[in-house]
């Protein structure tokens, strides 16, 4: 639904703010206007809103409003009413805000991206989805499709607030980075220095150290929601074997190409023997069925935890699944421990420290998810049951994992966050051409560290990339001329009960001359949030980013 406000209604809404706070019906009656019916606040169309705004403005100023053309007779029948502006459709695919002038330049990208989102939404059966895109630091498109609240037919809009799930990890990284820059946090000493409540660990009888740096990149060995160590290890071994098989096949094909495609019976026999051996190993080592995250009981905790230290009891006494630093094991609980480290290193409560960061970044709608507060524009969250019927998700309390997956936000706030990170990453490149640039929220060297892929890690939402420090990063790569060119980008996805999300940053490819007469941030930022779980959004966000990058180049 487009929003239309005339100057008259705007002045009427802003006039005498105290009066609105003292009761809108009282003001209306004192202005001697006709009585208001039930549900008047939310039920006005654009025409009624304009008509009431004109009358109310005149009543509050003590002067009669200018009569509109063909003013209706109060005694006349409804058919004699003056012509009104047509009400805007509340169709779930209608854009929620007027299209800014800048978006005309990106009309083709918006059209193609909207079509893509419709396809994704229909494919997965998501009730609602919201997207936001910025180009070079300016928001050029934000729109909601579908419903934020299916039962009450509340359409999604850019201001819709949803769970951002694991994008919370990227937010927590900013807190850790600020403390590290201030010299209050050492990333490479054992976590017990800050949180002695977390017991020292052993792995296979050997004493090992868990550090903040290892926790950030999911290399600590601390478990995720799956508690069965055997199942996790079997799955890891199976994936490693499968990857080794694919690598061997690729190497063999490469050797054949280098030899001009020539082969002989001996090579063919050896290849067949290797394939047979690998298949046999695969059959013997294929893991048993492991529950996915949404089948794990801990994801649906209803207990409220007062602080991060208290949340540690969920996992602090569990054994490490791997030796720290040896293998990647994605762990939201690792970020619960990081929240405790933030508290001890900063001397503030984790949420207080995060709210200061949100204030600095102008992320005014980003808050921790709690059930009690009234949070304007908060969506409801959905899932399909066993009968494939859309149902509300069960109540959950995310206080045990605010740092790793417990914040609410909007696409607009996520765009601000992405651009702040992109500015910090690029500002060092522009300093020589523009000395008046403000510093980034994080230093360039800090952002380079955060967006540098870490060895032994995985990026589950894009196999081409690696996990860095609370971000997944894909590096620039092109193997063959006039063929696929892999762009450098950073992103993080999120999956929570009844919610999916992604934040993706596609930096502009800059060289020495490209910084002249330009200021950071330079690049595309895309954020998508959805009130349905298990919706993969990273590839969609990347396609949208490339659409806008193409329009920008043209």
pLDDT in the model for residue 395: 95
Return the top range by mean pLDDT from 18-27, 38-47, 283-292: 283-292
User: Would the CA dihedral through 461, 401, 382, 355 be positive or negative?
Assistant: negative
pLDDT digits (tens, 9 = 90+) for 334-360: 999 999 999 999 999 999 999 999 999
- CA–CA gap between residue 232 and residue 221 (Å, rounded): 11
pLDDT in the model for residue 515: 74
Helix axes 167-181, 332-346, angle to 10 degrees: 30
Do the domain assignments include residue 256? no
The whole domain housing 319 covers: 100-226+295-553
For the chain, report the end-to-end CA distance as a whole number of angstroms.
Answer: 30
Nearest CA to 487 among 435, 398, 423, 548? 548
Half-sphere exposure of 407 (CA within 13 A, CB side): 27
Q: Which two tokens stand for residue 321?
A: 């699944």
Of 394 and 82, the one with more pLDDT: 394
Do the domain assignments include residue 208? yes
Contacts of 47 (CB under 8 A, 6+ apart): 84, 85, 86, 87
- CA–CA gap between residue 131 and residue 145 (Å, rounded): 9
Q: What whole-number percentage of the chain has pLDDT above 70?
A: 70
pLDDT band with cut points at 50, 70 and 90 for residue 512? low
Do the domain assignments include residue 237? no
Do the domain assignments include residue 312? yes
pLDDT in the model for residue 34: 44
Is pLDDT above 90 for 123? yes
Is pLDDT above 50 for 381? yes
Nearest CA to 500 among 546, 538, 544, 542? 538
Do the domain assignments include residue 424? yes
Name 154's bridge partners.
149
Is pLDDT above 50 for 77? no
pLDDT band with cut points at 50, 70 and 90 for residue 510? confident
- Rounded to an integer, the average pLDDT of 402-422 is 98
pLDDT in the model for residue 475: 97
pLDDT band with cut points at 50, 70 and 90 for residue 299? confident
Domain count, the chain: 1
Is pLDDT above 90 for 333? yes
Do the domain assignments include residue 389? yes
- Rounded to an integer, the average pLDDT of 261-269 is 51
Is pLDDT above 90 for 200? yes
- Report the catalytic residues: 166
Backbone angles phi, psi at 490, to 5 degrees: -125, 140
Of 237 and 352, the one with more pLDDT: 352
DSSP structural state of residue 383: E
Is pLDDT above 60 for 198? yes
pTM: 0.75
pLDDT digits (tens, 9 = 90+) for 85-111: 443 443 444 445 555 567 689 999 999
Is pLDDT above 50 for 29? no
User: Would the CA dihedral through 244, 247, 253, 255 be positive or negative?
Assistant: negative
> Poorest-confidence range of 2-16, 183-197, 223-237, 368-382?
2-16
* Cβ count within 10 A of residue 253: 11
Mean pLDDT for the chain overall = 81
- CA–CA gap between residue 329 and residue 321 (Å, rounded): 8
Is pLDDT above 70 for 445? yes
Backbone angles phi, psi at 19, to 5 degrees: -65, -40
pLDDT band with cut points at 50, 70 and 90 for residue 40? very low
Is pLDDT above 90 for 185? yes
Query: CATH number for the domain including 219?
Result: 3.40.710.10
pLDDT in the model for residue 430: 84
Q: What whole-number percentage of the chain has pLDDT above 90?
A: 63
- CA–CA gap between residue 130 and residue 150 (Å, rounded): 15
pLDDT band with cut points at 50, 70 and 90 for residue 41? very low
pLDDT band with cut points at 50, 70 and 90 for residue 273? low
pLDDT in the model for residue 1: 40
Q: Where are the alpha helices (DSSP H) in 399-537?
A: 402-405, 411-430, 444-450
Widest Cα–Cα separation across the chain:
100
- CA–CA gap between residue 276 and residue 317 (Å, rounded): 43
Do the domain assignments include residue 151? yes
pLDDT band with cut points at 50, 70 and 90 for residue 84? very low
- CA–CA gap between residue 249 and residue 169 (Å, rounded): 36
Do the domain assignments include residue 250? no
């Amino acid at each position: 639904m487009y929003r239309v406000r005339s100057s008259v209604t705007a002045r009427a809404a802003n006039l005498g703010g105290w009066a609105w706070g003292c009761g809108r019906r009282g003001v209306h009656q004192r202005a001697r206007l006709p009585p208001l019916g039930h549900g008047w606040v939310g039920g006005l169309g654009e025409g009624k809103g304009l008509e009431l705004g004109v009358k109310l403005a005149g009543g509050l100023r003590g002067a009669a409003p200018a009569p509109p053309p063909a003013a209706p007779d109060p005694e006349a029948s409804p058919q004699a009413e003056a012509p009104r502006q047509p009400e805007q459709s509340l169709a779930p695919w209608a854009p929620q805000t007027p299209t800014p002038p800048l978006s005309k330049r990106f009309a083709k990208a918006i059209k193609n991206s909207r079509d893509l989102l419709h396809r994704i939404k229909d494919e997965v059966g998501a009730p609602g989805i919201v997207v936001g895109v910025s180009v070079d630091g300016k928001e050029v498109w934000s729109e909601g499709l579908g419903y934020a609240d299916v039962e009450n037919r509340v359409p999604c809009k850019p201001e819709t607030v949803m769970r951002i799930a694991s994008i919370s990890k990227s937010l927590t990284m900013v807190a850790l980075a600020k403390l590290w820059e201030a010299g209050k946090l050492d990333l490479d000493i054992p976590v017990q220095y800050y949180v002695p409540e977390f017991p020292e660990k052993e792995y296979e009888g050997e004493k090992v150290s868990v550090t903040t740096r290892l926790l950030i990149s999911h290399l600590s060995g601390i478990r995720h929601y799956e508690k069965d160590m055997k199942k996790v290890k079997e799955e890891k071994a199976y994936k490693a074997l499968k990857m080794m098989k694919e690598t061997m096949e690729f190497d063999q094909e490469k050797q054949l190409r280098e030899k001009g495609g020539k082969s002989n019976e001996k090579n063919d026999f050896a290849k067949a023997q290797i394939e047979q051996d690998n298949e046999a190993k695969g059959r013997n080592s294929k893991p048993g069925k492991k529950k996915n995250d949404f089948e794990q009981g801990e994801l649906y905790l209803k207990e409220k935890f007062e602080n991060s230290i208290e949340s540690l009891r969920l996992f602090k006494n569990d054994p490490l699944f791997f030796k720290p630093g040896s293998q990647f094991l994605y762990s939201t609980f690792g970020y619960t421990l990081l929240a405790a480290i933030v508290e001890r290193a900063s001397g503030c409560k984790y949420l207080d420290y995060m709210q200061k960061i949100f204030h600095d970044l102008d992320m005014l709608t980003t808050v921790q998810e709690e059930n009690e507060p009234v949070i304007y524009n908060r969506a409801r969250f959905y899932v399909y049951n066993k009968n494939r019927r859309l149902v509300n998700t069960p109540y959950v309390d995310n206080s045990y994992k605010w740092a790793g997956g417990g914040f609410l936000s909007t696409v607009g706030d996520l765009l601000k966050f992405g651009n702040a990170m992109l500015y910090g990453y690029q500002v060092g490149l522009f300093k020589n051409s523009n000395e008046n640039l403000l510093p980034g929220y994080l230093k360039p060297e800090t952002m380079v560290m955060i967006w540098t892929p870490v060895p032994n890690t995985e990026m589950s939402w894009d196999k081409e990339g690696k996990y860095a420090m609370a971000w997944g990063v894909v590096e620039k790569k092109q193997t063959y001329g006039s063929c696929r060119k892999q762009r450098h980008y950073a992103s993080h996805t999120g999956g929570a009960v009844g919610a999916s999300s992604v934040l993706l940053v596609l930096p502009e490819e800059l060289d020495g001359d490209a910084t002249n007469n330009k200021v950071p941030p330079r690049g595309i930022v895309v954020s998508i949030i959805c009130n349905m779980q298990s919706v993969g959004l990273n590839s969609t966000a990347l396609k949208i980013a490339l659409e806008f990058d193409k329009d920008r180049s043209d």
